[in-house]
Amino acid sequence: MLTKKQLDLLEFINRRMMRDGVPPSFDEMKEALDLRSKSGIHRLITALEERGFIRRLPHRARAIEVVKLPEALEARSGFAPRVIDGDRNDPPRGAMPVMVGAEELPVMGRIAAGTPIEALSHESHRVAVPQSMMSTGKSHYALEVRGDSMIEAGINDGDIVVIEEGATADNGDIVVALVADQEATLKRFYKRGGMIALEAANPAYETRMLPGDQVKVQGRLVGLIRTY
């Protein structure tokens, strides 16, 4: 039996995982539950982990995986895990073994979650992704993350992000943004008047404010393959 706060937090984490493919930060959890400090969030997360509803991945900042939901919550949420574990020792080239209900996506280079690097250049290899992670009728591709600017969103250096192709995004979406037709970066997207804010999930990085005509959305994040 979960308390109301435990259930509210579990539902919030799952909803954000379904929307973004990554868990919310502790600050976002604190704000969503209207708590005064992060210590309350730590206690709730520990309780959920002890009851087997979530799993914290060791040595990974903000890395939380929803394992199961209470029946009532599962029925109305359409629960499906959106983070899968990979192995950093897998060969860097060639297809990974295809799992049941999976589709192979091209890994189209590296995306910056930090300093600018080349991205969306060419297919380097392919990766198997569960079909439940992707939207029906949409095109998808994958990118390897380099850098730590999105670490508080659970996106770490070396992870593979699954991107749904598209030229539009809603406020708060994590997107692949092409800046001035030169630099591709993975950031949270916000429209602010005629400007676009590209917000990192790491306090070491400042939010970038750019004119709207200098930012082109290349797709939004829908899933994450975590590597070790």
Give the separation between CA 210 and CA 201, rounded to whole angstroms.
18
- 30 is known as an active-site residue: no
- Phi, psi of 30, rounded to the nearest 5 degrees: -60, -45
Q: Which two tokens stand for residue 196?
A: 């676009």
Give the separation between CA 207 and CA 199, rounded to whole angstroms.
5
- 187 is known as an active-site residue: yes
Of 145, 133, 139, 150, the C-alpha closest to 106 is 139
Catalytic residue among 5, 25, 124, 187: 187
Catalytic residue among 132, 149, 191, 216: 149
Active site residues: 149, 187
